[in-house]
Amino acid sequence: MRQTPLYSRSARHGPAPEAARVAGETTPDLAPAAAPTSPPAATRPRWRQRLGSAVRDHRLIWSAWLLVLALLGGVWWQQSALAPRALTQKDIDAAVLRTLSTQNLPSRAARAAEKIRPAVVRVVAYDKDKKGEEVEQGVGTGVVIQDKGIILTNLHVVQSAQAIKLTFADGSESRASVAGVQAQHDLAVLQAHTIPDDLHAATLRSTADLAPGDEVVAVGFPFGIGPSTSAGVVSGLGRSFKSPEGTQEIGNLIQFDAAANPGNSGGPLVTMDGEVVGVVTGILNPTRARTFLGIGFAVPIESAASAAGLPPF
């Protein structure tokens, strides 16, 4: 009996069943064909693909922008936190109170003395003995009024001196000569022969608004010791004075009670701003002790300045 030929199954439909090994064997029934697979889903339209891609791109862009904004916000916050805020009057008052409570500030007299000290000069007058050698005749004080070496002092400090030696605030020394005198006010103008490089001149102030009770400081070399500072007030104005050993009376003087002694003569009388209002010229002491009893006198700076040829205030 003829056999129906076996055909191999198309590769599309899977492998063919194994052929019978023995001729004449009855070919078994073929397994039912597998259910046809559903056709692949239709490809998505291109516009939808582009739309999805665009959405994804926009999400990335927005994410990047948010990151940038977050970074900028962090930088701005940090700069705002570090940037100093504007000071208020309350901040300033608090700082001043804190300074006053934690630090010892110099007194007004100390500040005045510190300001005038670079212009204060020690003046020593010399005479000559029988052998022609220089011997010290007296010590006084001077004040620099021009940085070219012009110095004011009392005439009685340098009168009849054979030589004059100056010692400046920086310790340097110089000889000096008398450049002018104003005998009626007991004033002498000295010219230094050698001028320090950093010579400081005092600031002069008019006495027009000076009044009794105003605080003043006297700086000089009492008994050759110094520079020494004493503080007091203006006791009166327009006073007259004649020293016990002199015959000339000097008028229009400033009376003050800051301690002064021999050696203070020619030194500056200054305000609390460190400005010169007078040149110390004498002390009142009816005894021979020549020590301070509380009354000193100074020539107003207007008279002293005119002795040096300076213009009036």
DSSP-derived secondary structure letter, 139? E
| Per-residue model confidence (pLDDT) at position 306 | 79
What is the CATH code for 114-307?
A: 2.40.10.120
- Average of per-residue pLDDT across 199-213: 95
- Average of per-residue pLDDT across 21-43: 49
pLDDT in tens, 278-313: 999 999 887 777 789 999 999 999 987 777 777 666
pLDDT in tens, 77-91: 666 655 566 778 888
pLDDT in tens, 160-181: 999 999 999 999 999 999 999 9
Residues with catalytic function: 156, 186, 265
The CA–CA distances, whole Å, from 4 to 1, 25, 27 equal 10, 12, 9
Q: pLDDT confidence of 3, banded at 50, 70, 90?
A: very low
241: β partners: 250
Closest by CA to 268, choosing from 161, 156, 113, 146, is 113
Q: How far apart are CA 52 and CA 67, in angstroms?
A: 23
Alpha carbon 184 to chain centroid, angstroms: 45
What b/e sequence results for 80-117 when a residue is b if at least 16 CB atoms lie within 10 Å of its CB, and e otherwise?
eeeeeeeeeeeeeeeeeeeeeeeeeeeeebeebbebbb
| Per-residue model confidence (pLDDT) at position 232 | 97
pLDDT higher than 90, residue 195: yes
| Per-residue model confidence (pLDDT) at position 30 | 45
| Per-residue model confidence (pLDDT) at position 312 | 63
- Average of per-residue pLDDT across 124-135: 92
| Per-residue model confidence (pLDDT) at position 77 | 63
Q: pLDDT confidence of 10, banded at 50, 70, 90?
A: very low
Q: How far apart are CA 150 and CA 161, in angstroms?
A: 18
Q: pLDDT confidence of 46, banded at 50, 70, 90?
A: low
Closest by CA to 294, choosing from 264, 261, 246, is 261
* The residue to which tokens 């597998």 are assigned: 34
Q: How far apart are CA 33 and CA 42, in angstroms?
A: 25
* Report for 21-35, 46-60, 162-176: range of highest mean pLDDT: 162-176
pLDDT higher than 90, residue 246: no
* Whole-prediction pTM: 0.68
Q: pLDDT confidence of 102, banded at 50, 70, 90?
A: confident
pLDDT higher than 80, residue 255: yes
Here the tokens at position 213 are 């009770």
- What does pLDDT average to over the chain? 82
DSSP-derived secondary structure letter, 243? -
